[in-house]
Amino acid sequence: MNNPNRLHSLSSRAILCISLALLMVLGIAQQRLQLESVAATSSQMVPQFTVDPFWPQPLPNKWLLGRTIGIDIDERDHVFIVHRDSDDMFMSQELGLDLGRAECCTAAPPILEFDPAGNLVNAWGGPSPDGEYEWPASNHGIDVAPNGDIWIGGNGSGDSHMLVFTRNGEYIRTVGEPGNPADSNSTTHFSRVAEIAIDATANEVYVADGYGNRRVAVLDLASGAFKRYWGAYGNAPDDDADNTYTPGEPLPQQFRPPVHCAEPSNDGLIYVCDRGADRIQVFRTDGTFVKEGLIAPATLSGSAWDIDFSRDAGQQYIYLADGSNMKVHVIDRDSLEVLYTFGEGGRQPGQFFGTHSIATDSAGNIYTTETYEGKRVQKFVLSGMVPLGEVREGTPWPVSNLN
């Protein structure tokens, strides 16, 4: 006769064995999925770059660059930069030529134009000799319109306007009114504009406004007239609201100045650098909030300085200049996930000190500028697509030159 207790014991053991077996199977399956996910991520193809240490060519006339705080590239792949050329941007030893003490050097004019080979082809700008316009107290930001006009901003005291010139430096107009204080709801002036970006399709200008104001402003390209503006999350800007950013705490509902870029993509989205809050916020062109992504969120001095997009049809990648961490982030545009970074702090080619502005040419090459004592522009050549798992981070030297 069967013993019921023994049968019950056998049944319990069987259930336990089956459960353990199922757990093992599930564990193995989960581990396999994780490994497959890692393998898939590692095999994802991403763009890789190599610094060109010989771009641009040496400047003529014993010229030096000051803090280089804006860059844009036109349809000819000519590179335009703006830098700060005032005497206080240089040590007295650097201005030996000006001071009559030595053979070198003197500041270059604030706007410089290079051809694709890195040859300087034009240089101009500075205060108006006849008072026709008010040059910014502190140059900041540059963009080239489809017709070749050059827009520049300024983030110095009293810089509540922008200037528009022809490609050759002939004055066209002032947009906004100089000498005004911050007011993020003004429709007549700005406050310390950080960057300008032009949407050629819509004939609109997006203004990252900026160091004083807490908004994105949109203008008519032809006239400079105000059209609309918005703050973080599409909220109305509030200059008195708390916008404290503390890593790990709830994010501020207002932009935390400087609002450092506002870049339109080809599919009708606007990517905004909220530098002080370590984030990119994405909007539709009417200011409707879409999503946001944090970049190096422990950075207390701000990580999101400037962006541009890869030149493939879908603009799959964002390239973000991070002047605090001295690098460039390569980001998946859809997910806003950082895939990898290149560059590191230093003064050698491929390294950075104050990575400030970034732009891409028609071949997909990247150009960066550096502020503070970086004072230069660099070119990074698109050297092909490689699996993410094979990317070399750090200083992007050619492989043949690495030990």
Q: State the pLDDT confidence band at 399, using cuts at 50, 70 and 90.
A: confident
Smallest CA-to-CA distance from 375 within 85, 57, 78, 60 is with 85
List, for residues 154-204, the tens digit of each pLDDT value.
999 999 999 999 999 999 999 999 999 999 999 999 999 999 999 999 999
Q: What's the confidence (pLDDT) of residue 396? A: 95
**pLDDT over 60 at 32, yes or no:** no
Q: What's the confidence (pLDDT) of residue 23? A: 44
Smallest CA-to-CA distance from 297 within 332, 333, 330, 251 is with 251
Token code pair at residue 31? 């581990």
Beta-bridge mates of residue 164: 151, 173
Q: Tell me how far apart the alpha carbons of residues 159 and 157 are, in angstroms, rounded to a whole number.
A: 6
Give the Å distances, CA to CA, from 64 to 59, 136, 344.
8, 20, 24
Q: State the pLDDT confidence band at 43, using cuts at 50, 70 and 90.
A: confident
Q: State the pLDDT confidence band at 318, using cuts at 50, 70 and 90.
A: very high
Q: State the pLDDT confidence band at 42, using cuts at 50, 70 and 90.
A: confident
Q: What is the mean pLDDT of residues 392-401?
A: 83
Token code pair at residue 89? 């941007």
What residue segments make up the domains of the chain, in order of their start? Answer: 47-401
Q: What's the confidence (pLDDT) of residue 401? A: 53
**pLDDT over 70 at 27, yes or no:** no
**pLDDT over 60 at 35, yes or no:** no
3-state secondary structure the chain: CCCHHHHHHHHHHHHHHHHHHHHHHHHHHHHHHHHHHHHHHHHCEEEEEEEECCCCCCCCCCEECCCEEEEEECCCCCEEEEECCCHHHCCHHHHHHHHCCCCCCEECCCEEEECCCCCEEEEECCCCCCCCCCCCCCEEEEEECCCCCEEEEECCCCCCEEEEECCCCCEEEEEECCCCCCCCCCCCCCCCCCEEEEECCCCEEEEEECCCCCEEEEEECCCCCEEEEECHHHCCCCCCCCCCCCCCCCCCCCCCCCEEEEEECCCCEEEEEEHHHCEEEEEECCCCEEEEEECCCCCCCCCCCEEEECCCCCCCEEEEEECCCCEEEEEECCCCEEEEEECCECCCCCCECCEEEEEECCCCCEEEEECCCCCEEEEEEEEEEEEHHHCCCCCCCCHHHCC
Q: Are 174 and 161 in contact (CB under 8 A)?
A: yes
- The third-level CATH classification (topology) of the domain covering 47-401 is Neuraminidase (2.120.10)
- Respond yes or no on whether the N-terminal peptide bond of residue 237 is cis (omega within 30° of 0): no
**pLDDT over 80 at 4, yes or no:** no
Q: What's the confidence (pLDDT) of residue 59? A: 98
List, for residues 217-269, the tens digit of each pLDDT value.
999 999 999 999 999 999 999 999 999 999 999 999 999 999 999 999 999 99
List, for residues 44-90, the tens digit of each pLDDT value.
999 999 999 999 999 999 999 999 999 999 999 999 999 999 999 99
The pTM assigned to this predicted structure is 0.90
Token code pair at residue 285? 């062109």
Question: Of 23-32, 209-218, 361-370, which gets the smallest average pLDDT?
Answer: 23-32
